[in-house]
Structure 1
């Protein structure tokens, strides 16, 4: 399994990483409709208090990811993608076991710390995709990752909602089983994608710390502007795991099953976008074009979600918001062209560090206004306030991308 892949095995390797990503995201998707409700049950059923606790949980996870993701990214450049992916997946399984047997909120807190330390499976998988695809086909490869994301969130939330009604511990045990099964699959099947001659010759702690990792973004023309677009997008996207389950339950009175089915519909729409739209759209509009289309669709979709007074009108925004699935393939395609093969892991580590910052800032940015809106709903009548903030961030990302997202050829690998 330590033999690297070459030639015709590259296409098969995409299939391996695709299945790995599906199992990973499926386990995460199961948690979306149930984790906030578990926190709420520990807090005596208080929605506003649950929002406050979720701030602590999500912020702590973001801090750990910010610190550890650059280290894991550079480790993947030095030792290969496979061991980092396997470590991350194993950490996810341990986190779910903590949640399954948690007697109180502090056990959940410990689990989130551990998961945040190892949360690099998807970002390292992105470096894996960059290893085995040509620059011209890279956006399509990232579209495949998006399809895996969609499949996981199609079936995961619906399964989570059903398992929650069966037993409140069942979703966490199922997630642990999925994650550890995923780890076994990767251990026996997943090959290495980065050959020794393309790896970093040594591990440099100056690059592995978060600040050193972010320096990479300054050293390549245009990369910092694209990173800013990615940060604004990730910050806006934090509104989904932070607020939406609580928001849909509070505003529309939806049960976990209904929320799960809604997220399932969103996942199906995402799969259709990734499978049938990304490839032709990149050919027709280029990576910059699909990025701009996706960002503006996200802005419109969030705006509809924020103002929709009924569940039916909320669902009307779903087809528009689905086109935000074009963002990551376009953005990743533009960014990976600007670094060499031996820097793809460091780039994804820097991206994950930016996502960690967004995960630190995002939960209080959205949950505190949501808690305020819930407590003052009788007078304010604006529970969609945090989603309006997300819409504004998406609009800012659209304007920044219009100014900064320029095509660039892939650079030569840099010497360490």
Structure 2
């Protein structure tokens, strides 16, 4: 392992812990502003909306300034946005702050660029697995801290301390990047060209394998993001959970992703190939959503969300790797840019839609609709088996 990689993984862990710390608070913090399911889902979607533009801008900017400077700046401003979020006067102000926070947190492409700088193509899959593990660990522990420090009363003051802690995590990550992280290569002085989405659309549409993978990614991530958004409301209604309880539940969610990333995805891909692993992950997603309202117990509410995250962590990183492997080098930038934009769009539009379904149709309906939606795209994943060849695994 390149000695410059561990500082990045530490920064990712700290930053994601701060980001995920907010998640169990949102359903309850939204109620401070008398927000219904749709408004609370907007709080989730607003972050993804800012993320879309942040990923495009900061990825290119890191080529000009260097990865270290961009990561230090963005995590600092993201941290300051959390402090503003704690004092948001209205729901729409809170949503706007979440957009700003998402924009300055849109740095996954910068981190992935750093990984590309310090790892050879043969070792990149393994390195990305370490990146995913750091992400999942941050996602597991952040919400626990948020839940522990949240008050019981549904009032703005009950949530300020954990939100301050989230902002503090981001500021620590910024200081860490500034003092410890070192660029692997000098800044290029110019940004990479913007993805040519029109060309990518035509290319993806002409490739049956890529088209299926894009559809799988869109609907799968849409379902996952929507369940994440309504989970707090649903568990509050069914189990009487508070932000404290929800924080512990998110520990299971992050742990499911960590286990899948570290222990399962590599051996499963080596034995069964990417297409079958994608189908397995989707099956876990669909099953966990279907069983959630059927069993309806607190322990299953936790374990099934962990299973949901495990399925997500198996299916979508594998789908992204398969897209990259089936895309020629000259089209990598535009195709992967289109993938990022497509996935972000699904995270923007789906949670408010499922929030409306939750509030207007039935509180269990999002689980069943999500399960059915994933069951349909499993068919596409199974079709991929005969159209793809297994990857060559390099240890």
Question: Normalising TM by the smaller chain, what interval?
Answer: 0.7 to 0.9
Aligned to 1:403: 383
The question of 1:246 aligning with 2:233 is answered: yes
Give secondary structure in 1 for the equivalent of 2:4. Answer: helix
Aligned to 1:286: 273
Aligned to 2:357: 369
CA RMSD of aligned residues (A): 3.3
**Which residue of the other structure, out of 357, 369, 374, is the alignment partner of 1:394?**
374
**Which residue of the other structure, out of 273, 285, 306, is the alignment partner of 1:298?**
285
> In 2, distance between residues paired with 1:35 and 1:90?
22
Q: Does structure 1 retain, via aligned residues, the 8 Å contact 2:59–2:107?
A: no
**Which residue of the other structure, out of 31, 37, 49, is the alignment partner of 1:40?**
31
> In 2, distance between residues paired with 1:240 and 1:366?
8
Aligned to 1:4: none
Q: Does structure 1 retain, via aligned residues, the 8 Å contact 2:55–2:107?
A: no
> 1:356/1:202 Cα in 2 relative to 1: closer, same or farther (>3 Å)?
closer
> In 2, distance between residues paired with 1:226 and 1:240?
21
> In 2, distance between residues paired with 1:303 and 1:200?
51
Q: CA deviation at 1:243?
A: 0.6
Q: CA deviation at 1:330?
A: 1.5
The question of 1:182 aligning with 2:173 is answered: yes
Q: Does structure 2 retain, via aligned residues, the 8 Å contact 1:143–1:275?
A: yes
| Equivalent residue runs for 1:117-196 within 5 Å | 117-165=103-151, 167-193=158-184
**Which residue of the other structure, out of 17, 21, 24, is the alignment partner of 2:12?**
21
Give secondary structure in 2 for the equivalent of 1:254. Answer: coil
Q: Does structure 2 retain, via aligned residues, the 8 Å contact 1:120–1:352?
A: no
Q: CA deviation at 1:117?
A: 2.7
> In 2, distance between residues paired with 1:320 and 1:56?
25
Give secondary structure in 2 for the equivalent of 1:317. Answer: helix
Aligned to 1:376: none
Q: Does structure 1 retain, via aligned residues, the 8 Å contact 2:26–2:43?
A: no
Q: How many residues matched?
A: 384
Q: CA deviation at 1:295?
A: 1.6
| Equivalent residue runs for 1:283-362 within 5 Å | 283-315=270-302, 317-318=304-305, 320-324=307-311, 325-338=313-326, 348-362=336-350
Q: Does structure 2 retain, via aligned residues, the 8 Å contact 1:139–1:287?
A: no
Q: Does structure 1 retain, via aligned residues, the 8 Å contact 2:137–2:258?
A: yes
> 1:70/1:316 Cα in 2 relative to 1: closer, same or farther (>3 Å)?
closer
Post-superposition Cα deviations, 1:222-243, rounded to whole Å, max 9, x if no partner, equal 4443232222221111123311
* Alignment TM-score, normalising by the size of structure 1: 0.80
Q: CA deviation at 1:353?
A: 1.4
Aligned to 2:364: 384
> 1:403/1:132 Cα in 2 relative to 1: closer, same or farther (>3 Å)?
farther
Aligned to 1:7: none
**Which residue of the other structure, out of 83, 91, 94, is the alignment partner of 1:97?**
83
* Alignment TM-score, normalising by the size of structure 2: 0.83
Q: Does structure 1 retain, via aligned residues, the 8 Å contact 2:46–2:96?
A: no
Q: Does structure 1 retain, via aligned residues, the 8 Å contact 2:30–2:39?
A: yes
Q: CA deviation at 1:213?
A: 7.0
> 1:172/1:317 Cα in 2 relative to 1: closer, same or farther (>3 Å)?
closer
Give 5+ residue unaligned stretches, structure 1.
1-9, 44-48, 374-381, 411-416
